[in-house]
Amino acid sequence: MKKSTAAILLVIILAVMGALAYPTYLIVRDTLNTPGEGNSIKLGLDLAGGVSIKYQATGDKEPSSEDMADTIYKLQQRVDQYSTEALVYQEGNDRINIEIPGVSDANEILEELGKPGSLYFIKETGSDGQPNYSFNGMGYDLERTIEELEEDGSIVCSGTDVISAEAGSINENGQREYVVNLTFNDQGTKAFADATTEAFNNGESIGIYYDDAFVSVPRVNEPITGGQCQISGQSDYDEAKILASTIRIGGLKVELEELSSSVVGAQLGSKAIQTSFVAAGIGILAIFVFMIAVYWIQGVAASLALIVYTEIIVCLLNGFSITLTLPGIAGIILSIGMAVDANVIIFARIREEIAEGKTVDASMKQGYSKALSAIIDGNITTLIAAAILGIRGTGTVKGFAVTLALGIIVSLFTALLITRLIMNVFYGIGVKNEKFYGRAKVRKAVDITGKRVIFFVISIVLVLSGPAFMIRNSSSIGHILNFSQEFLGGTSSTVDLKKNYTVEQLENEVVPVVEKITGDSNVNTSNVAGTTQVVIKTRTLSLSEREEFETAMEENFEVAPEDIQMETISSTISSEMQRDAILASIIALLCMLVYIWFRFKDVRFGAASVIALLHDALVVVACYAFTQISVGGTFIACVLTIIGYSINATIVIFDRIRENLRVMSKSSLEEVVNTSISQTLSRSVFTSLTTFITVFVLYLLGVSSIRDFALPLMVGVICGTYSSVFLAGNLWYIFRKFMGKKAEEPVNAENNSADNANKKNSKKKKK
């Protein structure tokens, strides 16, 4: 690259950074000062508040707990379209609360969400041959009551028989047509097959009736026997989306009516937002200092690329209206760590090439080439997990997955393209001396495999400490972990304080009073916009604690008992959401195993990786058990963050083992593993340090709930590094030793034998 060309490129890069800096500044400014307005990032209930809607189950009898649970689960899936951090939970025996963060117009949400009610699929004609509905010139009118239709057998099935309803489009004769795709359960499949066969033979339609009106009356073009059908004829995608939404909401097992809607304030307050941004800024600055001090000119390139990464992430969060909460912040922290990690891998490779006597230019090309497989494998493995968690998970899990996936994609772009471009520019303008890039020092391999028993014992002790602490907790606090109301449910108290309190005032004045009664730090408060009411959520209060609560409110805030309303609420993380999170994690681990098996051509690499990940997750759980930190939605995000972080570090080591299996053909397996771990040790330490710095600053500056989140995250970062360095390689060595060739044999003995045979054959041909 010519010096003039390099100089022009440098100016362009700095100009692009400057162009991105201004919108980034506006977004950060508005997010800190006026959340929900201007250019601000969409924040979750914990950071900015949102809309709260309360529904009451209707009917003559009280709905069963199973029907309520099913309804809550379906509503959770329904409101995910507004925010992945939306919450749906039960209040009392027959009420359901919905909290949607990042929005402020309750009426608009109610209109879009629709009125949950009964939905029916109705035959065009009854058993007597008379029409069940007729066209009036504007729409369709029902000719009989629902009760009469049920007695006649004219109702094919109801909304509860619909598993899914999704809007889509197809190309029909070269033209785009908008449709709604329906999937029925077993009962609905059979009923729909019989009804559509009859309707097709008679040239009739089947009407979809919801909330006292027909929402669609599609004609049956063929018998539908497979449980899946398509409703065509929508004028555009929005119309198809509304119809699909109506069918979904009409498929609830419990019919609901709206009781109230309100706008609730933030649960953590502006201080939490400010400290999160400040912590991120300080953490990134600390990473800049560290990278430049260790890697010199390469560190400068990485720092500039990290600035671009930060600008792009902030703009994308705003542009795609992604709701940001504490779990989302965890995903971004992880992706920052992976962005730095990719650079560290590349820089270490470049230094190794320089140490072998190659020029800086050749070393840069070779360094990127050799580092590429580890970077791609590590990021794709984590991206697979994020995709599965996003598809299968709900609520907190999905929010974490979205920000993690976004961060990974951007980090790959900045590490592989932006950093490389900046380094080429620096080289092109004359920074060519190897002293600016560094030279890898030859270090003696550390005997990791020889001390594997010690490491295994340490890990077993750490993992088993979890159950021990859980037994202690079970007797002291009644649960194996300090589960928050998100898992166990609790008491929601609406208190009219007669004057407006800011979130900070609630945290400093009201929360301590409540904590003295509950003995639990997990007290959640939020304002009801436009009123002087405050919602206080705690663990379930006993009768005596309720009385003590009322007395404390009266003594400290002059609140009369009649201005306090208390309701028992269900967990916001329902059993179905817990099941989905666990199932998604298991599927993600299995997919990681398969991918690593495919890429490394050895299932033992995958097995060792998954065991190391399980070890990290169990140690983090042990940390929660030991510290008795409240276990809520952020717990899931924390464990998933560590899994994603750890797998990336393990992949780097396994990639080096795979390479050395070819290079060190005459070495023993122990030498290969020890050398590979030693060669990547500085990378493992440096990457962990940069990630740890960011989380540690978050811990120092954050409010109590953020510190409770950051502490186990720090433990997980340390644990993930430990397992990658001291466990993963040793586990693979054990598997290779007992499930393959003997460890003492040259690792590529079979390749040497094949080479010798080829040489003999070659000699014979020459003769």
Read off the tokens for 432: 């060519």
Nearest to 105 by CA among 36, 43, 55: 36
Span 464-516, pLDDT tens digits: 999 999 999 898 878 898 887 777 778 888 899 988 888 778 878 888 899 88
pLDDT digits over 635-675, tens only? 877 787 788 778 888 888 999 998 899 888 888 999 999 99
Residues of the chain with CATH 3.30.70.3400: 50-105
The CA distance from 557 to 365, in Å, is: 69
Give the ranges where 134-269 is alpha helix by DSSP (H). Answer: 146-152, 186-202, 237-249
Intervals of CATH 1.20.1640.10 along the chain: 3-36+268-436, 449-466+574-747
Rg, C-alpha atoms of the chain = 30
* CATH class of the domain at 490-569: alpha beta
Mean pLDDT throughout 56-79? 78
Question: Measured between alpha carbons, how far is residue 602 from residues 106, 319, 597, 663 in Å?
Answer: 54, 42, 5, 18
Residues 6+ apart with CB under 8 A from 683: 341, 344, 345, 348, 652
- % of residues, the chain, pLDDT over 90: 21
Residue type, 12: I
Q: Residue 303 pLDDT more than 50?
A: yes
Distance CA 714, CA 699 (A): 9
Q: Which of 39-43, 300-304, 540-544 has the lowest mean pLDDT?
A: 39-43
pLDDT at 265 (0 to 100): 58
Q: Which residues pair with 214 in a beta bridge?
A: 209
Q: Could you say which of 3.20.20.140, 3.20.20.10, 1.20.1640.10, 3.30.460.10 is the CATH number of the domain covering 449-466+574-747?
A: 1.20.1640.10
Give the model confidence (pLDDT) of 554-576 as tens digits. Answer: 999 999 888 888 877 777 666 66
Residue range(s) in the chain whose domain bears CATH number 3.30.1360.200: 119-251
Integer Cα distance of 680 and 370 in angstroms: 13
Cα distances (angstroms) measured from residue 530 to each of 498, 505, 525, 527: 12, 17, 16, 9
What is d(CA 115, CA 246) in angstroms, rounded to the nearest whole number? 9
> What value does the mean pLDDT take over residues 9-36?
84
Regarding the domain delimited by 119-251, which CATH topology (the fold level of the hierarchy) does it fall under? Gyrase A; domain 2 (3.30.1360)
Residues pairing with 176 in the sheet:
171
DSSP 3-state helix, strand, coil percentages of the chain (rounded to 5)?
60, 15, 25
Asked if the model's pLDDT at residue 763 lies above 50, the reply is no
Look at residue 288 and tell me whether its pLDDT is greater than 70: yes
Compute the distance between CA of residue 304 and CA of residue 74 in angstroms, rounded to an integer: 45
pLDDT-wise least confident of 95-104, 146-155, 654-663 = 95-104
Place of tokens 């080096």: 656
Q: Residue 250 pLDDT more than 60?
A: yes
Per-residue pLDDT at 38 = 64
pLDDT at 385: 79
How much is the pLDDT for 524? 78
Domain 50-105 has CATH 3.30.70.3400: yes
For residue 738, which phi and psi values (nearest 5 degrees)?
-100, -10
User: Which CA distances in Å does 349 have to 372, 374, 441, 614?
Assistant: 10, 11, 12, 30
Question: Is the pTM above the cut of 0.85?
Answer: no
Q: Which CATH architecture has domain 3-36+268-436?
A: Up-down Bundle (1.20)
What pLDDT sits at residue 739?
A: 73
Q: What digits encode the pLDDT tens for the residues 442-467?
A: 778 889 999 999 999 999 999 999 99
Neighbours of 739 (CB within 10 A): 11
